Amino acid sequence: MPEYPRPSRVAIVGTGLVGATFAYALMITGMVSEIVLIDANRERARGEAMDLNHGLPFVRPVRVWDCDYPECAEADVIVIAAGAAQRPGQTRLDLVQRNVAILREVVTQVARYASQERSILLIVSNPVDILAYAAWKFSGWPAERVIGSGTVLDTARFRHLLGQYFQVDPRSVHAYIIGEHGDSEVPLWSSANIGGIPLTEFESWDRAAMDEIFAQTRDAAYAIIQAKGATYYAIGLALVRIVEAILHDQHSVLSVSTLMRGDYGLRDVYLSLPAVVGRRGVERVLDLPLIQEEVVGLHRSAGVLRETMAQVGII
Ligand code: NAD
């Protein structure tokens, strides 16, 4: 019995720091049989493919090569990490104009070759919610098959900090960041728990400490970019987790960015909420019992995104 029923292929468009780190993390998992690398700078994609190939004697078999868009035809997931990265002091929304133009070019090429029956588009370039919405529009694919990595990373940062504070494994912390992947994101304190116990029940719970944890979560990218120029390890692993949920049809609850279709009174905007993710993409958005403050925060986030989308003419 072969290990894989048919080759599973992940295509990565944009093999800069995020794309290459994701490729490396994915290769180590042994989860896929083919990783194809596409970049406007072909030389860069070729160099990454060579470097990754030299690691093959140490991992389970996987084919890795640089190529062009026709190779997306056989891809199960196409991850788009192409674009300009955030510079020190620059917000994610500042990047929008430049990255929408790049995204239009990339998605037009991808949609020429890839099949919307087979592939899932996973957008990671920033501002991710706006670019995921734009990718949905530019591709013409069903919204459930066009996903943004959203606040999966922010949720991981939040869980790490809460785990550290309450001295538990971050995987045992159940807490989400929702809304925009960016400055207007919202912490879901009302449902945050450890082993089913609300955080407020813990003796060490402290309002000021929780506020500080959220501030550190929200501002983490700025701190890392200030310190080392870019973020890529944790997002690489977050992408592996999303791709795993898709390829293995895991129906995992992940705070990906997805089209709002009346959820919490929101429409025609992409933002993150805990959603069930499987082989068909986003299967459904969970209906969480949000408190008023969280709903207001979510609407504020949607407002920020829609305003920017209007400024660049996407809506
Ligand atoms: P990078 O500059 O290292 O890499 C970007 C790559 O995109 C480069 O290799 C470049 O050649 C390529 N590229 C540019 N235009 C292209 C085009 N038209 N077609 C194909 N390839 C093209 O940047 P990075 O650090 O890898 O970041 C990539 C993106 O990911 C940025 O937008 C960044 O803000 C975003 N990011 C998102 C998250 C998240 O949580 N969503 C986290 C980190 C970074």
pLDDT, tens digit (0-9, with 9 covering 90-100), for 77-99: 999 999 986 677 777 667 788 89
Token digits for 306?
């829609």
| Annotation says 299 is catalytic | no
pLDDT band at residue 2 under the 50/70/90 scheme: low
pLDDT digit string, tens, across residues 93-125? 677 888 999 999 999 999 999 999 999 999 999
- Mean per-residue pLDDT for 56-77? 98
Average pLDDT of the residues in 129-147: 98
Percent of the chain surpassing pLDDT 90: 92
- pLDDT average, residue stretch 157-166: 98
User: Would the CB of 11 count as within 6 Å of ligand 1?
Assistant: no
Q: Which two tokens stand for residue 266?
A: 């929101």
Q: Which of 67, 80, 126 to mutate to test the pocket of ligand 1 (most atoms within 8 A of CB)?
A: 126
Residue of 72, 93, 125 to test ligand 1 pocket, by largest number of atoms within 8 Å of CB: 125
- Asked whether 40 lines ligand 1 (CB < 6 A), one says yes
Does ligand 1 come within 6 angstroms of the Cβ of 14?
yes
pTM above 0.95?
yes
Would the CB of 105 count as within 6 Å of ligand 1? yes
- Indicate the pLDDT class of residue 7, thresholds 50, 70 and 90: confident
Whether the predicted pLDDT of 6 surpasses 80:
no
pLDDT of residue 90: 73
Q: Which of 107, 109, 124 to mutate to test the pocket of ligand 1 (most atoms within 8 A of CB)?
A: 124
Three-state DSSP class for residue 254: strand
Ligand 1, atom 27: closest residue by C-alpha: 85
- At residue 93, the pLDDT reads 65
In 3D, which of 129, 132, 133 has the Cα closest to residue 272?
129
More confident residue, 84 or 254: 254
Predicted pLDDT of residue 192: 98
Whether 281 lines ligand 1, by a CB cut-off of 6 Å, is no
Query: How far is ligand 1, taken at its centre, from the CA of residue 172, in Å?
Result: 31
Protein residue with its CA nearest to atom 39 in ligand 1: 124
* Buried b / exposed e along 116-139 (16+ C-beta atoms within 10 A): eeebbbbbbbbbbbbbbbbbbbbb
Region 11-22 average pLDDT: 98
Instruction: Locate all alpha helices (DSSP H) within the chain, ordered by sequence.
Output: 17-29, 42-53, 96-113, 128-139, 152-166, 207-218, 220-228, 233-247, 292-311
The pLDDT value given to residue 1: 54
At how many degrees (to 10) do helices 128-139 and 292-311 cross?
Answer: 60
Please give the distance, rounded to the nearest whole angstrom, from the Cα atom of residue 288 to the centre of ligand 1: 33
Mean per-residue pLDDT over the chain, rounded: 95
Residue nearest to atom 18 of ligand 1 (CA): 102
* For the CA of 92, the nearest atom of ligand 1: 34
pLDDT of 58 above 90: yes
| Gap from CA of 304 to ligand 1 centroid (Å) | 23
C-alpha 125 – ligand 1 centre gap (Å): 6
Output the pLDDT for position 87: 75
Q: For position 88, what pLDDT does the model report?
A: 78
